[in-house]
């Protein structure tokens, strides 16, 4: 295996572990501020690789870098009338047994004097803040990474500067090749004396500010003569070019072909353009909408993953990808022929997008996700507000243990989905080219 490929996987895993650690820190800090006792803060799963105790909390790293957790005492309330400091026997009913076993586990670390330090006794808004802290940290980290990418590094942008990779001959779109043959005619740009490095500044008397401007004017002109203003080595000059008509891929849908459009025969130069913070906000907003749409269509997307894994169908570039697949993409990025700056940009973009997806996924209002606890806290606040308005006695704590059977079912589905993604990422992975 290429050592750069392996290094890319390791870099991604380190970034992932840092993201998980910050996610759990987002839960830990407000939990401690609001007085919840937290016995453990762990990054990873499985057996403990290293840990240290500070005060009442054990901080550590586990061997499997696929998640993390903090353990808060009293996540579930006892049954009404039970002594919160004592355990009780479970019922014989299958679902009730699951619920009561979970209550027992939630209470077994409650010591005398901890009655007000259990999670379930905290105010509803404190519960919401504690459980929102994890996804919030993912969003913050995503914003920081996207800011580094867009403001610090920049994003690839096409400029109206003739690239050295520009072909010197006209190759019909029906022929899948890039090499020129003796029978190929020179491009209009070559005939007019245009060279790599020339910046196109005007076309037919109209100013060119971007490659999009150049493409639009060239295509709409069609075949025929036109004056093209360029700057070469700092000196402005005008070239008389005779465009030809060619069939070219559509600029709005590459799968479609535009017939007989104007053809000059130049390729743009790609540069990294730095953006403003305002662009970061807009970029994240657009990406958030796409992620939300993907989450809504997750069952359908997973069907596509199934077909990709077992039928060899092409993976959907907009579909879900697991940790294994993202790690492989990290390896592919670092071992590619991209420049050092482009590699950093791709890795930062990968980690930023992964954090955004993790944050949004955790907000789904179902247990065992953070969103399930957030929904429980909001429902408790709504019930208590309603009771105050109706001048009724304050209701008890919302008992999210009642939905534990659904939680276990969802957890089982999530395990199946994770396994399918791992298999698909190994058999038919997404790549840089989709």
Q: Which residues are catalytic?
A: 24
Residue with tokens 């930062």: 348
Q: Which two tokens stand for residue 247?
A: 């069939």
- Greatest Cα-to-Cα distance within the chain, rounded to the nearest angstrom: 92
Q: Which two tokens stand for residue 205?
A: 């008397």
Check if the beta carbon of residue 230 is closer than 8 Å to that of residue 194.
Answer: yes
Distance CA 62, CA 67 (A): 9
Nearest to 357 by CA among 266, 293, 280: 293
Bridge partners of residue 263, in order along the sequence = 244
Residue with tokens 């799968």: 255
Check if the beta carbon of residue 106 is closer than 8 Å to that of residue 114.
Answer: no
Judge residue 403's burial from the number of C-beta atoms within 10 Å of its C-beta, 0-12 exposed, 13-18 middle, 19 or more buried: middle
- Helix or strand holding residue 85 (H, E): none
- Helix or strand holding residue 269 (H, E): strand 268-273
Check if the beta carbon of residue 377 is closer than 8 Å to that of residue 398.
Answer: yes
Q: Which two tokens stand for residue 257?
A: 């072909």
Distance CA 218, CA 260 (A): 12
Judge residue 92's burial from the number of C-beta atoms within 10 Å of its C-beta, 0-12 exposed, 13-18 middle, 19 or more buried: exposed
Q: Which two tokens stand for residue 433?
A: 């080219």
Nearest to 325 by CA among 4, 18, 8, 17: 8
Nearest to 297 by CA among 319, 326, 323: 319
């Amino acid at each position: 295996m290429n050592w750069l490929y392996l290094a890319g996987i390791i870099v991604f895993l380190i970034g992932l572990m840092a993201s998980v650690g910050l996610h759990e820190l987002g839960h830990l800090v407000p939990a401690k501020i609001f007085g919840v006792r937290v016995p453990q803060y762990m990054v990873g799963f499985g057996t403990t690789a290293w840990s240290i105790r500070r005060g009442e909390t054990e901080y550590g790293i586990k061997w499997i870098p696929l998640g993390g957790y903090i353990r808060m005492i009293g996540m579930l309330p006892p049954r009404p009338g039970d002594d919160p400091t004592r355990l009780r026997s479970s019922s014989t009913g299958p679902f009730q047994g699951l619920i009561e076993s979970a209550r027992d586990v939630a209470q077994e670390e409650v010591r005398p004097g901890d009655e007000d330090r259990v999670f379930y006794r905290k105010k509803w808004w404190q519960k919401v803040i504690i459980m929102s802290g994890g996804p919030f940290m993912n969003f913050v980290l995503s914003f920081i990474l996207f800011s580094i990418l867009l403001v610090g590094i920049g994003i690839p942008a096409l400029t109206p500067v003739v690239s050295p990779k520009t072909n010197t001959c006209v190759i019909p779109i029906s022929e899948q090749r890039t090499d020129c043959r003796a029978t190929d005619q020179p491009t209009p740009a070559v005939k007019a004396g245009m060279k790599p490095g020339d910046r196109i500044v005007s076309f037919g008397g109209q100013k060119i500010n971007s490659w999009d401007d150049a493409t639009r004017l060239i295509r709409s002109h069609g075949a025929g003569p036109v004056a093209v203003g360029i700057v070469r080595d700092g000196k402005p000059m005008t070239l008389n070019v005779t465009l030809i008509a060619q069939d070219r891929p559509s600029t709005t849908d590459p799968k479609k072909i535009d017939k007989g459009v104007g053809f000059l025969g130049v390729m743009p130069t790609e540069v990294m353009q730095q953006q403003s913070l305002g662009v970061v906000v807009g970029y994240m907003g657009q990406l958030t909408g796409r992620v939300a749409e993907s989450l809504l269509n997750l069952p359908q997307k997973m069907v596509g993953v199934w077909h990709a894994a077992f039928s060899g169908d092409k993976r959907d570039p907009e579909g879900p990808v697991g940790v294994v697949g993202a790690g492989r993409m990290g390896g592919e990025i670092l071992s590619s022929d991209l420049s050092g700056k482009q590699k950093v940009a791709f890795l930062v973009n990968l980690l930023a997008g992964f954090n955004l997806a993790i944050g949004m996924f955790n907000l789904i209002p179902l247990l065992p996700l953070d969103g399930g606890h957030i929904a429980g806290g909001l429902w408790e606040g709504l019930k208590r507000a309603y009771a105050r308005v109706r001048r009724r006695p304050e209701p008890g704590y919302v008992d999210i243990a009642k939905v534990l059977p659904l939680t276990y079912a969802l957890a089982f589905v999530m395990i199946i989905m994770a396994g399918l993604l791992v298999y698909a990422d190994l058999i038919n992975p997404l790549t840089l080219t989709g």
